[in-house]
Amino acid sequence: MLQSMTGFGKAISELPHQKITVDIRSLNSKQGEINLRMPSLFRDKEMDIRQLVGTYLDRGKIDVIIHYEDKSEKAEKSINSEAFKRNYHLLKSLAKELDIDTTDWLSVLTSMPDSYSNQTDQVPDDLLELLFNLVEIALGELVRFRLKEGKALENDVQLRIESIRDLLKQTELMEEERTLNMRSKMNAKWNEWQTEQQIDENRLEQELFYYLEKFDITEEKVRLNQHCDFFIESMTSESGNGRKLGFIAQEIGREINTIGSKANHAGVQRLVVEMKTELEKIKEQLSNIV
């Protein structure tokens, strides 16, 4: 089953004095890219959270945003005197250098985040467990969203593959006309050679093989059908993925291009243009598939 690269998942837990919110979004990207924003309180768990996200999500630009609010008495902040003094001297020096006159240093310094420190340095195990549970819940929601979107993409892509098959079948209806055209050209060439005093048998054989190979598109049609079968099989299997389908789509494109170059028939070439149009739409959809 296909999975879209775009999705959204959210999980919230509200306790009497604490609230944790986890938002996870994913967008299209050729590689896996995880951007994580969270409070410094959980910073030492960053690698663990990244690994957890990586087990659920392979490709895409992934934004993980964690909000934490603590209203308990233990969360009261105290002034970080060292940072407070350091910021004061730094700002005063800059103000003098830039000729900025200010006397309200207190309001400036109190607005700087590092001027404070939490009294609670140790994060309780139950809070960490809750955090990781919420991340997993948000990831589960995001995956379900991506699978739902992937099903819609799968239906659209499958219809376009079947459209290519139908267009290929329509070329069969023009095969008799193509054969008559080819025979007419070969007869004209034969009459041209008969007017010559001497016919080069080797050249005649080479020319016959050249025209037969130039006009015959049987192998290309067989391979195109096989590629379409392989595409559907890969798309509906558990191992189906965007990269693999992209490679198969390239092979489909090669066969369509070869049919167009060898067709030498206006009707077939029009069908080839329609097949190319369907294939381009398939490639657009594949860019959003994991």
pLDDT tens digit sequence for 42-77 = 988 999 999 999 999 888 899 999 999 887 655 555
271 shares its domain with 164: yes
112 shares its domain with 190: no
Is residue 1 assigned to a domain? no
Which residues are CB-contacts of 74 (< 8 A; sequence separation ≥ 6)? 119, 120
Is residue 235 assigned to a domain? yes
Q: What is the pLDDT of residues 144-180, one digit of tens each?
A: 999 999 999 999 999 999 999 999 999 988 887 877 7
Is residue 232 assigned to a domain? yes
81 shares its domain with 54: no
Q: What is the pLDDT of residues 210-250, one digit of tens each?
A: 666 677 888 999 999 999 999 999 988 765 578 899 999 99
Count of Cβ atoms closer than 10 Å to residue 59 Cβ: 19
CATH of the domain at 68: 3.30.230
170 shares its domain with 187: yes
pTM tops 0.85: no
Is residue 174 assigned to a domain? yes
135 shares its domain with 154: no
Which residues are CB-contacts of 62 (< 8 A; sequence separation ≥ 6)? 24, 25, 26, 32, 33, 34, 35, 53
Is residue 2 assigned to a domain? no
172 shares its domain with 247: yes
Amino acid at 164: I
Is 226 or 32 the better-scoring residue by pLDDT? 226
281 shares its domain with 200: yes
Give, in order, the Cα–Cα distances in Å from 158 to each of 114, 144, 246, 270.
56, 21, 14, 22
Is residue 228 assigned to a domain? yes
269 shares its domain with 187: yes
27 shares its domain with 153: no
User: In angstroms, rounded to a whole number, what is the distance separating the alpha carbons of residues 102 and 202?
Assistant: 99
Is residue 14 assigned to a domain? yes
Q: What is the pLDDT of residues 99-136, one digit of tens each?
A: 777 667 677 766 666 665 654 557 888 899 999 999 99
Query: What's the whole-number mean pLDDT along residues 191-207?
Result: 64
Task: Specify the pLDDT at position 119.
Answer: 47
219 shares its domain with 253: yes
Is residue 46 assigned to a domain? yes
Structural domain containing residue 212: 146-286
Is 243 or 189 the better-scoring residue by pLDDT? 243
Where in the chain does DSSP place strands (E)? 7-14, 18-27, 32-37, 60-70, 77-79, 116-118
- Number of domains the chain contains: 3
173 shares its domain with 207: yes
88 shares its domain with 192: no
User: In angstroms, rounded to a whole number, what is the distance separating the alpha carbons of residues 150 and 3?
Assistant: 4
